[in-house]
Structure 1
Amino acid sequence: MPRNCAVSAVVPLLRTFSVPPGYRRTAEVRRPKLDPFIPIIEGWLEADRSMPRKQRHTAKRVFDRLRDECGFTGGYTIIKDYIRERERRGQEVFVPLAHPPGHAQADFGEAMVRIGGVEQKAHFFVLDLPHSDACYVRAYPAAVAEAWVDGHIHAFAFFGAVPQSIVYDNDRCLVAKILPDGTRKRAALFSGFLSHYLIRDRYGRPGKGNDKGNVEGLVGYCRRNFMVPLPEFATWEAFNLWLEEQCRKRQQDVLRGEGETIGERLQRDLAEMRSLPASPFDACDQDTGRVSSQSLVRYKTNDYSVPVAFAHQDVWIRAYVHDVVIGCRGEVIARHPRCWDRDELIFNPIHYLPLLEQKLNAFDQAAPLQGWELPEEFATLRRLMEARMNRHGRREYVQVLRLLETFDLADLHAAVKQALQMGAIGFDAVKHLLLCRVEHRPPRLDLDCYPYLPRTTVDKTRPGSYMRLLSSDAEDAA
């Protein structure tokens, strides 16, 4: 090319750019070995959309199939580069969101913990206030609807206010069904909760965690900072008290890009939130049932005992996160710790004592009494009672145990110990000592007779006594 022609080609570029822009491609890259196979690759990758994520084509698998099935002669690198570029073009772009004060996001996370010496999975509820980044965390043995509601109630009490709206995912504990128009049919317990606190519920798109990215990130933060090393506490309540303290400490932090602490920004959130209602919502699942012939009530997959007097009757059930309460008409008849295992029998031995008093032969094999750990003095009392009174002694021992229907174990234990020390081996003596202990009065027992009641003096009947009465009556008449 003549020199003057090269100069004339550069002059327009100098007029457009102060600095030459460098090399610019004017035509698409040609890949003669790959281009004929692109429709095949696209067909495979489109079909992958309906497959589980872990069973989709990788670049290596695409290369192997093209080589073995389609006669592809190119290298692996051009396949890998094409698929990487295709994935990059398909990645979603997000809009930065602003978070006005007074609104919240909620979610659940999972982590391993050790509660009461047992290593198990904890499901921890997280409520985040995105404007201030303040948070509340509470752990549960299961992420059921009762735990969702209970977590909200404790979070509202922690902040002392109720958010105007909360963003959720489409968890089945909250959303019973997504209708064709996109609206949500709420689960019954969750619907009652929202009505009680007048909260506007909002939902992210199914499978799109970025719609509530703040709380999603906070779940990871809590797992890394609150659950490492493995938390170890005696009870769930002790663990949750510790988590609350960590949430308070975090309010002193200043996050990147902010000039105020979380606690200082929290004040703007609280100013826009609503006051707590007069009473909290009752966070329980409600159900009904019928007592079986073995005095058991089934809830979910487990059976809970009730007093035998309510056998074959209809009852109502209130299932909280940690307790199951059973009632008949307007009376609470049983309360048990909630069991999260399956197909378990949860007994209260006291429920079966009236029946065992009638069926003494079943006493040693009664399932409700297996594993019932009583102080060793009770076994001593039973042995002495049966040695002294045989079968009647076993009945009196059951009567002693039935005192637990009214009195505390500590008071009954003290009465049994005192009876053993005094040698007063009998139900009436134990009951007398127990009542004296509860009423703070000294016992009055006559240990020379049975049944150890206070001694009274009664003269024997003599015929002469009647004669004296008759003679005195005759003198009075004269």
Structure 2
Amino acid sequence: VKRWRQEHRLGSDGFMELAWHPGEAQVDFGVAQAVIGGDRVGVHCLVVSFPFSNMRYVVALPGENAACVCYGLRLVFEHIGVVPMMLVFDNATGAGHRVAWDKVTIVKLFALFLAHYRLETRFCNPYSGNEKGSVENAVGFLRRNIMVPILNAESYGQLTRFLLERCDALANNGHYRKGTSIASLFEREKEDMQPLPRIGFDAVDWQERRADRDGRVKVDGNYYLAGPSWRGWSLEVGLRAFDVELRTQDGRVCAKLPRVYGSSPVTIRDPAVLLPALGRKTNGWPESTIRDDFPAKLRLAVDHMDAGDRRHAFRLIARASDSSGFDAAVRAGEHLIEQGRALDEASMMMLARRIKAGEPVDDVKAPDLRVYDAFMQRKEV
């Protein structure tokens, strides 16, 4: 069979060298191992290559859906300060679905992204990696030169910032053929690209879901908690690359939760959404699902409170959570308890903001704001 194929091989078999113009970019995904927040995960690396200059950029993402594609491309565009004229994609990614050999249907979210940045796009033929050889090589190059040894980062955002900086540093190398640095060629290439729009594209896919009797909505096989107040409501679910936003039809935000990829054995929730319910039904505290989310000393203090004090504590923590997040709010509450102080709104709000800003408050005495009350009292002269 091999000999027959060699004898009957057509003269047109083989690959043609392709010419790429300034402002044209190729896009593809690769997977590499990294440690994110202490867990070793497979990071989906969105690689953008500019064949004319051989400039390459990579963004770390948790998946390859349309929201991740749009979010990653926006980061690259804002990093370089311009927008390319043309994007060349793989056979089929989260941006589109191949419905026939020569036809790809672009998903709605990515179509909106293309309109926002005034982009043209083209999808390669199936099994035709040579049509985007620049980005195919860039995926392997960046994985070997940046992702080894295994990187350790607190978040995907921190990892992405490091990767983009390393890509800029690698651009000081010379072009393999043109006899000058990649960085100088890319600066020349950017002159043929489009300016950034004033407002970046919010890559969010809105879908309608109905909350069950527990106030949960099901998305991609996982349950996200909107809160008991919204049970039975028809809610809008906004899917982004890293979070899921739940809101009512009139725009009221119920919760904003981290997006989970894969199957989660538990409901994804923000403990703060249950605080209003506990403020109304304080007897539910001992069996509450968020009791273990409280720091030990604050949890013990709440256990020994009567109904009125619990109601007051939950409402204070809820207000601090709205401005600074649940973790900062309960840490502020625990700090006040450790200092032998009762929970008051002014101290809770101020401490929670300081904790959110990253200030170390563990060894700092909680402020006594009663001096301001004395200062405001009228004194007789």
Q: What is the TM-score with the length of structure 2 in the denominator?
A: 0.82
* Whole-Å separation in 2 of the counterparts to 1:423 and 1:152: 50
- Between the aligned partners of 2:332 and 2:191, the Cα distance in structure 1 is 56
- Give runs of aligned pairs for residues 44-83 of structure 1, distance below 5 A: 82=3
Superposition deviation, residue 82 in structure 1: 3.9
Residue 14 of structure 2 aligns to which amino acid in structure 1? Answer: V
Structure 2 equivalent of residue 311 of structure 1: 231
Match for residue 101 of structure 1 among 7, 22, 29: 22
Aligned residue number for residue 396 of structure 1: 309
Greater strand proportion: 2
Asked whether 1:149 is paired with 2:76, we answer no
1:363-402 aligned at under 5 Å gives the runs: 363-367=285-289, 369=290, 371-372=292-293, 374-385=294-305, 393-394=306-307, 396-402=309-315
SS in structure 2 at match of 1:246:
helix
* 1:170-208 deviation per Cα after TM superposition (whole angstroms, max 9, x unaligned): 31422234457x343211111111111111111211111
Secondary structure in structure 2 of the residue aligned to 1:257? coil
Amino acid at match of 1:365: E
Is the contact made by 2:238 and 2:244 (CA closer than 8 Å) also made in structure 1? yes
Contact 1:146-1:283 at 8 Å conserved across structures: yes
Q: 1:212 to 1:443 in 2, by over 3 A?
A: same
Q: Please state how far the C-alpha of 1:149 moved relative to its aligned partner.
A: 0.9
Q: Deviations over 1:272-301 (max 9, x none)?
A: 111111211111222111122111122221
Cα distance change, pair 87–241 in 1 and its aligned pair in 2 (3 A): farther
- Inter-partner Cα distance in structure 2 for 1:350 and 1:202: 45
Question: Counterpart of 2:273 in structure 1: which amino acid?
Answer: H
2:276 alignment partner in structure 1: 354
Q: Assess if the C-alpha contact under 8 Å between 2:214 and 2:227 holds in 1.
A: no
Structure 2: how far apart are the matches of 1:118 and 1:435? 32
AA at the equivalent of 1:355: A
Corresponding residue of 2:375:
none
- Pairing of 1:3-402 with structure 2 (within 5 A): 42=1, 82=3, 92-178=13-99, 182-328=102-248, 329-343=250-264, 344-367=266-289, 369=290, 371-372=292-293, 374-385=294-305, 393-394=306-307, 396-402=309-315
Percent identity at matched positions?
27
CA distance in 1, matches of 2:221, 2:41: 20
92 and 405 in structure 1: CA distance in 2 versus 1, 3 angstrom threshold = farther
Cα distance change on mapping 1:436 and 1:176 into 2, 3 Å: closer
- Structure showing greater Rg: 1
Q: Indicate if the aligned counterparts of 1:436 and 1:443 stay in contact, CA closer than 8 A.
A: no
**1:403 shift after superposition:** 1.6
Indicate conservation of the 8 Å contact 2:279/2:310, yes or no.
no
What displacement does 1:230 show? 1.5
Question: How far did 1:417 drift?
Answer: 4.9
Q: C-alpha deviations, 1:52-89, integer Å up to 9, x for none?
A: xxxxxxxxxxxxxxxxxxxxxxxxxxxxx748957988
Quick one: distance in 1 between partners of 2:229 and 2:97?
38
Please give the secondary structure, in 2, of the residue aligned with 1:366: coil
Contact 2:298 2:330 in 1 (8 A): no
* Number of the residue aligned with 2:360: none
1:315 counterpart letter in structure 2: L
Would you say the 8 A contact 1:436–1:442 is kept in 2?
no
- Alignment CA distance shift 1:140-1:152 (3 Å): same
Q: Highest relative contact order (Cα 8 Å, sep 6+), 1 or 2?
A: 2
Bigger drift between 83-92 and 116-125 goes to: 83-92
User: How many Å separate the matches in 2 of 1:86 and 1:285?
Assistant: 54
* TM-score normalised to structure 1 length: 0.67
Alpha carbons of structure 1 residues 86 and 398: separation in structure 2 relative to 1, 3 Å: farther
**3-state SS of 1:143 partner:** coil
Q: 2:275 touches 2:318 (CA, 8 Å); kept in 1?
A: no
Taking the aligned partners of 1:417 and 1:141, their CA distance within structure 2 comes to: 35
Inter-CA distance 441–286: structure 2 relative to 1 (3 Å threshold): same
Kindly indicate whether the alpha-carbon contact (under 8 Å) linking 1:179 and 1:185 is maintained by their aligned counterparts in 2.
Answer: no
Cα distance in 2 between the residues matched to 1:359 and 1:437? 27
Structure 2 CA distance for partners of 1:399 and 1:299, relative to 1, 3 Å: farther
Describe the SS at the equivalent of 1:345.
Answer: coil
Distance 1:321 1:260, change over 3 A: same
- What is the distance in 2 between the residues matched to 1:143 and 1:256? 31
Alignment partner of 2:35: what SS? Answer: strand
